[in-house]
Amino acid sequence: MSRLAFFIWLLNIAVDTVGHTAFKAAAITEHETEWHRWKKMLSSLPLWIGIICFGFEFVIWLALLSLVPLSLAMLLGSFNIVAVIFAGKLIFHERLDRMRVLGMSFITIGVALVGGFA
């Protein structure tokens, strides 16, 4: 994998993680009715940051696909799950149990194997 493809892959991970955490931040609202909760979410800055990130990620993903085969890009894209789980733990103090750690380990090893032989 070229240095450019590696950089674009890392950028994809970062933008995807920011987008997911922004959506989570927007979704954490408590209101008396569902209508008020949706009004609050739709007017929140984190929601719009998430939307912008996913629009930007679309462009980044196209750039990555232009540099690597689809089969490799899909495997590399699975690493985003690991980054989002770590962000959830760090930012929202979500639980990280043994099964999640084991799953993240398998994903990381798989991405390392695929990326190492690409």
Say which range, 18-32, 62-76, 77-91, 104-118, has the weakest mean pLDDT. 104-118
3-state secondary structure the chain: CCHHHHHHHHHHHHHHHHHHHHHHHHHCCCCCCHHHHHHHHHCCHHHHHHHHHHHHHHHHHHHHHHHCCHHHHHHHHCHHHHHHHHHHHHHHCCCCCHHHHHHHHHHHHHHHHHHHCC
Say which range, 11-20, 33-42, 106-115, has the weakest mean pLDDT. 106-115
* Predicted pLDDT of residue 10: 96
The domain ranges of the chain are 3-116
The pTM (predicted TM-score) of the whole model is 0.87
